[in-house]
Amino acid sequence: MNKKVILISGASTGIGFASAKRLIGEGHTVYCGARRVELMTELSDMGGKVISLDVTDDDSVVSFAKQAFDNEGRIDGVFANAGYCLLGPIELHSSADVIKQYDTNVVGTGRLLSATIPYLRKQRSGTILITSSVAGHVSMPNLGWYSSTKFAQQAIGDALRMELKEFGIKVSLIEPGYIDSDIDNASLHTLDTAESNPVSEDYLNQIKNFRNNWSKGIDAGASPDTIAKVVSAAFSATNPKRRYHPNPDARLALFMKKFFGHALLDKVLPGASIG
Protein backbone atom coordinates (compact mmCIF):
# COMPACT_ATOMS: atom_id res chain seq x y z
CA MET A 1 0.00 0.00 0.00
CA ASN A 2 1.32 3.46 -0.88
CA LYS A 3 2.22 5.53 2.16
CA LYS A 4 -0.31 8.30 2.72
CA VAL A 5 -0.78 11.47 4.71
CA ILE A 6 -3.92 10.92 6.81
CA LEU A 7 -5.72 13.24 9.22
CA ILE A 8 -7.83 11.81 12.07
CA SER A 9 -10.11 13.70 14.44
CA GLY A 10 -11.04 12.20 17.80
CA ALA A 11 -7.74 10.30 17.88
CA SER A 12 -7.26 10.24 21.65
CA THR A 13 -9.47 7.21 22.42
CA GLY A 14 -11.47 4.36 20.92
CA ILE A 15 -11.80 4.02 17.16
CA GLY A 16 -9.69 7.09 16.44
CA PHE A 17 -6.81 5.98 18.64
CA ALA A 18 -6.85 2.40 17.35
CA SER A 19 -7.03 3.57 13.72
CA ALA A 20 -4.20 6.05 14.18
CA LYS A 21 -2.06 3.39 15.84
CA ARG A 22 -2.68 0.90 13.05
CA LEU A 23 -2.07 3.41 10.25
CA ILE A 24 1.14 4.68 11.85
CA GLY A 25 2.29 1.08 12.19
CA GLU A 26 1.68 0.60 8.47
CA GLY A 27 4.05 3.46 7.73
CA HIS A 28 1.60 6.26 6.99
CA THR A 29 2.09 9.82 8.14
CA VAL A 30 -0.80 10.34 10.51
CA TYR A 31 -1.93 13.65 11.99
CA CYS A 32 -3.70 12.76 15.22
CA GLY A 33 -6.11 15.44 16.41
CA ALA A 34 -8.02 15.62 19.70
CA ARG A 35 -8.60 17.94 22.63
CA ARG A 36 -6.92 15.61 25.13
CA VAL A 37 -3.41 15.64 23.73
CA GLU A 38 -2.06 13.96 26.87
CA LEU A 39 -3.85 10.74 25.90
CA MET A 40 -1.95 10.49 22.60
CA THR A 41 1.60 10.06 23.97
CA GLU A 42 1.79 6.52 22.62
CA LEU A 43 0.88 7.75 19.14
CA SER A 44 3.53 10.46 19.35
CA ASP A 45 6.13 7.93 20.48
CA MET A 46 5.27 5.80 17.44
CA GLY A 47 5.85 8.75 15.11
CA GLY A 48 2.34 10.18 14.88
CA LYS A 49 1.93 13.92 14.51
CA VAL A 50 -0.07 14.81 17.61
CA ILE A 51 -1.94 18.13 17.45
CA SER A 52 -4.54 19.74 19.70
CA LEU A 53 -7.86 19.80 17.85
CA ASP A 54 -11.29 21.01 18.89
CA VAL A 55 -13.81 20.28 16.14
CA THR A 56 -16.21 22.85 17.62
CA ASP A 57 -13.69 25.63 16.96
CA ASP A 58 -13.29 26.94 13.39
CA ASP A 59 -9.74 28.23 13.88
CA SER A 60 -8.57 25.00 15.51
CA VAL A 61 -9.85 22.90 12.60
CA VAL A 62 -8.44 25.17 9.89
CA SER A 63 -5.06 25.23 11.65
CA PHE A 64 -5.05 21.43 11.93
CA ALA A 65 -5.58 20.97 8.19
CA LYS A 66 -3.18 23.76 7.18
CA GLN A 67 -0.40 22.49 9.42
CA ALA A 68 -0.63 19.02 7.89
CA PHE A 69 -0.61 20.33 4.33
CA ASP A 70 2.16 22.87 4.94
CA ASN A 71 4.35 20.17 6.48
CA GLU A 72 3.65 17.39 3.98
CA GLY A 73 2.61 19.14 0.75
CA ARG A 74 -0.46 16.95 0.39
CA ILE A 75 -3.34 15.29 2.24
CA ASP A 76 -4.37 11.82 1.06
CA GLY A 77 -6.95 10.82 3.63
CA VAL A 78 -9.31 12.38 6.17
CA PHE A 79 -11.05 10.42 8.92
CA ALA A 80 -13.84 12.51 10.50
CA ASN A 81 -14.24 10.52 13.69
CA ALA A 82 -14.74 12.92 16.61
CA GLY A 83 -18.03 12.66 18.45
CA TYR A 84 -19.89 11.59 21.58
CA CYS A 85 -23.33 10.26 22.58
CA LEU A 86 -26.08 12.38 24.11
CA LEU A 87 -28.03 9.81 26.12
CA GLY A 88 -31.53 9.97 27.59
CA PRO A 89 -35.15 10.58 26.54
CA ILE A 90 -35.75 13.32 23.99
CA GLU A 91 -37.90 15.39 26.36
CA LEU A 92 -35.29 15.61 29.10
CA HIS A 93 -32.50 17.42 27.27
CA SER A 94 -32.29 21.18 26.93
CA SER A 95 -31.77 22.96 23.66
CA ALA A 96 -28.23 23.74 24.86
CA ASP A 97 -27.53 20.00 25.26
CA VAL A 98 -28.80 19.31 21.74
CA ILE A 99 -26.90 22.21 20.18
CA LYS A 100 -23.67 20.96 21.78
CA GLN A 101 -24.33 17.45 20.43
CA TYR A 102 -24.88 18.75 16.91
CA ASP A 103 -21.96 21.16 17.09
CA THR A 104 -19.62 18.23 17.76
CA ASN A 105 -21.08 15.37 15.75
CA VAL A 106 -22.53 17.16 12.72
CA VAL A 107 -21.13 20.67 12.43
CA GLY A 108 -17.77 19.43 13.72
CA THR A 109 -17.69 16.88 10.93
CA GLY A 110 -18.56 19.64 8.47
CA ARG A 111 -15.79 21.88 9.79
CA LEU A 112 -13.16 19.20 9.22
CA LEU A 113 -14.48 18.43 5.75
CA SER A 114 -14.63 22.09 4.71
CA ALA A 115 -11.08 22.62 5.94
CA THR A 116 -9.59 19.63 4.12
CA ILE A 117 -11.60 19.17 0.93
CA PRO A 118 -9.95 22.15 -0.84
CA TYR A 119 -6.60 20.37 -0.62
CA LEU A 120 -8.03 17.09 -1.90
CA ARG A 121 -9.96 18.82 -4.66
CA LYS A 122 -6.86 20.62 -5.89
CA GLN A 123 -5.00 17.29 -5.97
CA ARG A 124 -7.97 15.57 -7.68
CA SER A 125 -7.54 12.65 -5.29
CA GLY A 126 -8.11 11.49 -1.74
CA THR A 127 -10.32 9.41 0.54
CA ILE A 128 -12.72 10.69 3.19
CA LEU A 129 -14.11 8.43 5.93
CA ILE A 130 -16.85 9.48 8.33
CA THR A 131 -17.62 7.60 11.55
CA SER A 132 -21.38 7.29 11.58
CA SER A 133 -23.16 4.36 13.23
CA VAL A 134 -25.82 1.76 12.69
CA ALA A 135 -27.79 4.24 14.85
CA GLY A 136 -27.86 6.32 11.67
CA HIS A 137 -30.22 3.69 10.24
CA VAL A 138 -32.07 2.51 13.34
CA SER A 139 -33.06 5.09 15.96
CA MET A 140 -33.52 3.87 19.52
CA PRO A 141 -35.10 5.05 22.77
CA ASN A 142 -32.74 7.09 24.94
CA LEU A 143 -30.50 7.56 21.91
CA GLY A 144 -32.79 9.73 19.82
CA TRP A 145 -30.69 12.89 19.76
CA TYR A 146 -27.47 10.96 19.13
CA SER A 147 -29.13 8.84 16.45
CA SER A 148 -30.39 11.98 14.74
CA THR A 149 -26.79 13.21 14.36
CA LYS A 150 -25.85 9.88 12.82
CA PHE A 151 -28.75 10.09 10.37
CA ALA A 152 -27.41 13.54 9.49
CA GLN A 153 -23.94 12.13 8.90
CA GLN A 154 -25.44 9.55 6.55
CA ALA A 155 -26.98 12.36 4.51
CA ILE A 156 -23.72 14.30 4.50
CA GLY A 157 -21.71 11.27 3.43
CA ASP A 158 -24.09 10.32 0.62
CA ALA A 159 -24.27 13.84 -0.77
CA LEU A 160 -20.54 14.35 -0.46
CA ARG A 161 -19.78 11.10 -2.27
CA MET A 162 -21.67 12.35 -5.33
CA GLU A 163 -20.44 15.94 -5.11
CA LEU A 164 -16.78 14.93 -4.99
CA LYS A 165 -16.80 12.08 -7.49
CA GLU A 166 -15.72 14.31 -10.41
CA PHE A 167 -12.66 15.37 -8.42
CA GLY A 168 -11.45 11.82 -7.86
CA ILE A 169 -12.28 11.92 -4.13
CA LYS A 170 -13.80 8.82 -2.52
CA VAL A 171 -16.21 9.03 0.45
CA SER A 172 -17.17 6.17 2.76
CA LEU A 173 -19.23 5.85 5.92
CA ILE A 174 -18.03 3.65 8.80
CA GLU A 175 -21.13 2.32 10.62
CA PRO A 176 -20.27 0.24 13.68
CA GLY A 177 -22.50 -1.05 16.44
CA TYR A 178 -21.34 -1.47 20.03
CA ILE A 179 -17.65 -0.67 20.53
CA ASP A 180 -15.76 -1.51 23.72
CA SER A 181 -14.27 1.93 24.16
CA ASP A 182 -14.15 5.03 26.33
CA ILE A 183 -17.43 6.23 24.78
CA ASP A 184 -19.17 4.73 27.82
CA ASN A 185 -17.38 7.02 30.29
CA ALA A 186 -17.46 9.93 27.86
CA SER A 187 -21.23 9.76 27.45
CA LEU A 188 -22.84 8.47 30.64
CA HIS A 189 -22.71 11.89 32.28
CA THR A 190 -25.27 13.03 29.70
CA LEU A 191 -27.64 10.35 30.97
CA ASP A 192 -27.09 11.73 34.48
CA THR A 193 -28.11 15.15 33.13
CA ALA A 194 -31.33 13.72 31.71
CA GLU A 195 -32.07 11.88 34.95
CA SER A 196 -31.61 15.07 36.98
CA ASN A 197 -34.27 16.90 34.97
CA PRO A 198 -37.14 17.85 37.34
CA VAL A 199 -39.69 16.12 35.08
CA SER A 200 -37.77 12.85 34.69
CA GLU A 201 -39.81 10.86 37.23
CA ASP A 202 -41.92 9.02 34.66
CA TYR A 203 -38.77 7.96 32.80
CA LEU A 204 -36.69 6.70 35.73
CA ASN A 205 -37.35 3.00 35.20
CA GLN A 206 -36.65 3.36 31.48
CA ILE A 207 -33.42 5.23 32.20
CA LYS A 208 -32.34 2.59 34.73
CA ASN A 209 -32.87 -0.22 32.22
CA PHE A 210 -31.13 1.72 29.49
CA ARG A 211 -28.13 2.50 31.69
CA ASN A 212 -27.70 -1.19 32.49
CA ASN A 213 -28.12 -2.36 28.89
CA TRP A 214 -25.90 0.39 27.48
CA SER A 215 -22.97 -0.46 29.74
CA LYS A 216 -23.38 -4.19 29.11
CA GLY A 217 -23.46 -3.56 25.38
CA ILE A 218 -20.30 -1.45 25.47
CA ASP A 219 -18.48 -4.06 27.57
CA ALA A 220 -19.46 -6.80 25.10
CA GLY A 221 -18.78 -4.66 22.03
CA ALA A 222 -16.22 -5.11 19.31
CA SER A 223 -12.66 -4.05 19.94
CA PRO A 224 -11.71 -0.68 18.39
CA ASP A 225 -9.02 -2.67 16.58
CA THR A 226 -11.80 -4.39 14.61
CA ILE A 227 -12.92 -1.02 13.29
CA ALA A 228 -9.32 0.10 12.72
CA LYS A 229 -8.84 -2.81 10.30
CA VAL A 230 -11.81 -1.60 8.27
CA VAL A 231 -10.48 1.97 8.32
CA SER A 232 -7.13 0.77 7.02
CA ALA A 233 -8.80 -1.28 4.30
CA ALA A 234 -10.91 1.68 3.20
CA PHE A 235 -7.89 3.97 2.93
CA SER A 236 -5.99 1.36 0.93
CA ALA A 237 -8.82 0.53 -1.49
CA THR A 238 -8.88 1.95 -4.99
CA ASN A 239 -12.67 1.92 -4.83
CA PRO A 240 -13.74 1.80 -1.18
CA LYS A 241 -17.24 0.68 -0.26
CA ARG A 242 -19.91 3.30 0.28
CA ARG A 243 -20.56 1.85 3.74
CA TYR A 244 -18.72 -0.45 6.10
CA HIS A 245 -20.49 -2.44 8.84
CA PRO A 246 -17.62 -3.93 10.84
CA ASN A 247 -19.38 -5.86 13.61
CA PRO A 248 -22.22 -8.40 13.79
CA ASP A 249 -24.68 -6.38 15.89
CA ALA A 250 -24.62 -3.59 13.31
CA ARG A 251 -25.36 -6.05 10.52
CA LEU A 252 -28.13 -7.68 12.59
CA ALA A 253 -29.88 -4.35 13.22
CA LEU A 254 -29.79 -3.50 9.53
CA PHE A 255 -31.11 -6.97 8.64
CA MET A 256 -33.99 -6.62 11.09
CA LYS A 257 -34.96 -3.22 9.74
CA LYS A 258 -34.79 -4.36 6.12
CA PHE A 259 -36.73 -7.62 6.47
CA PHE A 260 -38.99 -7.08 9.49
CA GLY A 261 -39.47 -3.31 9.63
CA HIS A 262 -40.45 -1.06 12.48
CA ALA A 263 -43.18 -3.35 13.84
CA LEU A 264 -40.51 -5.71 15.18
CA LEU A 265 -38.00 -3.01 16.05
CA ASP A 266 -40.60 -1.22 18.19
CA LYS A 267 -40.92 -4.40 20.25
CA VAL A 268 -37.26 -5.30 20.73
CA LEU A 269 -35.46 -1.95 20.92
CA PRO A 270 -37.00 -0.26 23.98
CA GLY A 271 -34.46 -0.39 26.78
CA ALA A 272 -31.73 -1.51 24.41
CA SER A 273 -29.06 0.48 22.62
CA ILE A 274 -26.57 0.22 19.81
CA GLY A 275 -23.42 2.33 19.88
CATH architecture of 5-268: 3-Layer(aba) Sandwich (3.40)
| 271: confidence class by pLDDT, cuts 50, 70, 90 | very low
| Residue 62 or residue 266, greater confidence | 62
Catalytic residues, by residue number, are 146
Rounded to two decimals, the pTM is 0.90
| 19: confidence class by pLDDT, cuts 50, 70, 90 | very high
| 215: confidence class by pLDDT, cuts 50, 70, 90 | confident
CA distances (Å), origin 217, targets 105, 184, 212, 272: 21, 10, 9, 9
Domain ranges within the chain, ordered by starting residue:
5-268
> 245-260, pLDDT tens digit by residue?
887 666 666 666 665 6
Q: What is the mean pLDDT of residues 230-254?
A: 85
> 179-204, pLDDT tens digit by residue?
877 776 778 899 999 999 999 999 99
